[in-house]
Amino acid sequence: MEKRKGVSLRALLARYLLATGALLALFAAAAWSLIVLLMNSGFLLPASSSQQAALQSAARLRQREAFDASDLDPLCGYVYFSGEGAVVQSNLSPKRLEDAQNMLRGQEKTSLLGAAWYYESVEFADGGLCLIQYDYSVPYGDPALRGRLPDFQTAYLAFCVLLALGIVALTTFHYSRRLGRAADKLARAGATIAAGELEQGDFTATGVRELDGAMDAMRTLKENLSGSLRAQWRMEQQRAEQIAALAHDLKNPLTVISGNAELLAEEPLAPQAQGYVEAIRRGGERAGRYLEALRQAAAPDGLAAEPEPQPVDAADLFCAVRQAAQDVCRLHGVRLCAGTPPPGVLLRLQAEPVRRALLNLIENAAQAAPGGSVRLALCLSPRQAAFVVEDDGPGFSPQDLQRGTELFYRGSDARPGDGHCGLGLYVCRRAAEAAGGSLTLENGSAGGARVTLTLPRQ
């Protein structure tokens, strides 16, 4: 598809200025044409009408010996002063009269410029003085309208200013809306990528060259992310298939082990041997549950099939872990010390991941303290339940305390690892966090390691 060439921001701004200027020029021409039309129709008089009327009125008054107001044109304002400077007669407003008096106290000329008004002066034989006041405003042609309607020049100027502002606002709205649509399109494209909807969204050109460059970058980012996610999905599928195949292959020998353990349990054996067989059977059951959890997690819909958290009695969970921990500690030749917690403390979680995490902590402690002891305790507070695992081993190094729960962290040489791959404590931390809790590593006051898995109470 041919790429549409957009306009640059500079060109868009130039178009805005040209359009605004052209519309204002057309409006100014139309406003001036309207004034000319009104003058030609007689509705308005030219701006020089007041001056001409003042000159004609002054000429008539100069032909008389005394002041006569009937000689003055209605377009003119006037004030007649006596020889002593007192106001005898006037048709001026207070402000206009004040300006005329100020002019009289200043200079006496035939034509003087005041603040906004001009004057023609006429002197009489009795010492009186008439100041004829005029300006260059545009008066109405009909004298009856001059006192009823507002000043045309002021009203028309206000109307023109408002209309000019409306024109500027209209053009500004038009071009800002165009730029806003382009920016909104770019923002929606970014929101589409942020939401992970890489197969949807409109990533076509915005029509503004600078924004099109950003849109091209987003389009490239979308395509790269989409390709990366597809490749990752294929890798996940391959990994899931490999794990599923491995779990299936492990299930067969595990079935053989469990079956033979059950057959041995039916034979008359010594009590010690019977305990070993029972430990093998329980270990096989645990391994079977692990394989089933691994198979479900590796399935494409493993996350969707994840069970909802359920209310669990902390004492029941503790007892289940304690029973399995006895087999683990017996295997490693260490002594397990665990009490009996009070019942009735409810937790809301998936019991199996937490149980596996606690057994993992027990096995780590047993490996770190050969010939010693491992202690399992449940500490309760009003809001939390803390499962504490302690051992008599060398404890954690400073680096272990800082990084012990990181993925693939192999640890220092302080604690024996027996070839572990750095997954145990990481999986325990994830299980605790999934249940809304936390995992804490520390060293005991009398030596050894202390790991606390804290969970919120229901």
CATH code of 111's domain: 3.40.1840.10
Residue 191 structure tokens: 């929101």
Least confident of 27-36, 217-226, 245-254, 358-367: 245-254
pLDDT of residue 110: 40
Q: Half-sphere exposure of 207 toward its Cβ, with a 13 Å CA cutoff?
A: 11
pLDDT of residue 375: 95
* Band (300; pLDDT cuts 50, 70, 90): low
Shared domain check, 317 and 261 = no
Q: Give the distance, in angstroms, between the CA of residue 1 and the centroid of all CA atoms in the same chain.
A: 34
Mean pLDDT of 195-207: 82
pLDDT of residue 227: 84
* Band (114; pLDDT cuts 50, 70, 90): very low
Q: Give the distance, in angstroms, between the CA of residue 416 and the centroid of all CA atoms in the same chain.
A: 50
Does residue 340 form part of some domain? yes
Does residue 429 form part of some domain? yes
pLDDT of residue 276: 79
**End residue of a domain, out of 136, 167, 183:** 136
Least confident of 18-32, 68-82, 289-303, 383-397: 289-303
Centre a 10 Å sphere on the Cβ of residue 198 and count the other Cβ atoms it contains.
Answer: 18
| Alpha helices by DSSP H, 195-270 | 209-265
pTM above 0.85, yes or no: no
Shared domain check, 400 and 314 = yes
For the chain, the domain total comes to: 3
User: pLDDT: is 162 or 263 the higher one?
Assistant: 162
**End residue of a domain, out of 277, 306, 335:** 306
Length of the chain in terms of residues written: 458
The DSSP letter of residue 429 is: H
Shared domain check, 416 and 397 = yes
Q: What percentage of the chain exceeds 90 in pLDDT?
A: 42
* pLDDT digit string, tens, across residues 44-74: 999 899 999 999 999 999 998 899 999 999 8
**Looking at the predicted structure, is the pLDDT value of residue 421 above 60?**
no
Domain containing 341 — which CATH number? 3.30.565.10
Shared domain check, 311 and 280 = no
Shared domain check, 387 and 399 = yes
Does residue 234 form part of some domain? yes
Shared domain check, 259 and 339 = no
Which of 94, 46, 45, 89 is CA-nearest to residue 67?
Answer: 89
* pLDDT digit string, tens, across residues 436-452: 999 999 998 888 999 99
pLDDT of residue 283: 76
Does residue 4 form part of some domain? no
Shared domain check, 298 and 317 = no
Shared domain check, 297 and 420 = no
pLDDT of residue 115: 46
Shared domain check, 452 and 352 = yes
Mean pLDDT of 69-96: 91
**End residue of a domain, out of 284, 306, 328:** 306
Least confident of 99-103, 164-168, 389-393: 99-103
Bridge partners of 310?
349
Domain containing 288 — which CATH number? 1.10.287
User: pLDDT: is 299 or 303 the higher one?
Assistant: 299
Instruction: For residue 404, give its domain range.
Output: 307-456
Q: Half-sphere exposure of 271 toward its Cβ, with a 13 Å CA cutoff?
A: 0
User: pLDDT: is 45 or 107 the higher one?
Assistant: 45
**Looking at the predicted structure, is the pLDDT value of residue 433 above 90?**
yes
* pLDDT digit string, tens, across residues 341-355: 888 899 999 998 999
Does residue 181 form part of some domain? no
Shared domain check, 408 and 440 = yes
* pLDDT digit string, tens, across residues 117-170: 899 999 998 889 999 999 988 999 888 888 788 888 889 999 999 999 999 999
Q: What is the mean pLDDT of the chain?
A: 85
The DSSP letter of residue 457 is: B
**Looking at the predicted structure, is the pLDDT value of residue 272 above 50?**
yes
pLDDT of residue 306: 60
**Looking at the predicted structure, is the pLDDT value of residue 108 above 50?**
no
Does residue 200 form part of some domain? no
**Looking at the predicted structure, is the pLDDT value of residue 89 above 60?**
yes
Mean pLDDT of 249-263: 74
Q: What percentage of the chain exceeds 70 in pLDDT?
A: 89
Shared domain check, 247 and 277 = yes
Q: Measured between alpha carbons, how far is 208 from 218 in angstroms, rounded to an integer? A: 15
pLDDT of residue 294: 67
pLDDT of residue 111: 40
Residue 431 structure tokens: 């299980």
**Looking at the predicted structure, is the pLDDT value of residue 184 above 70?**
yes
User: pLDDT: is 49 or 273 the higher one?
Assistant: 49
**Looking at the predicted structure, is the pLDDT value of residue 419 above 50?**
no
Does residue 380 form part of some domain? yes
pLDDT of residue 355: 93
C-alpha to C-alpha distances, 114 to 118, 120, 137, nearest whole angstrom: 6, 11, 15
* Band (312; pLDDT cuts 50, 70, 90): very high
Shared domain check, 391 and 452 = yes
**Looking at the predicted structure, is the pLDDT value of residue 112 above 50?**
no
Does residue 349 form part of some domain? yes
pLDDT of residue 308: 81
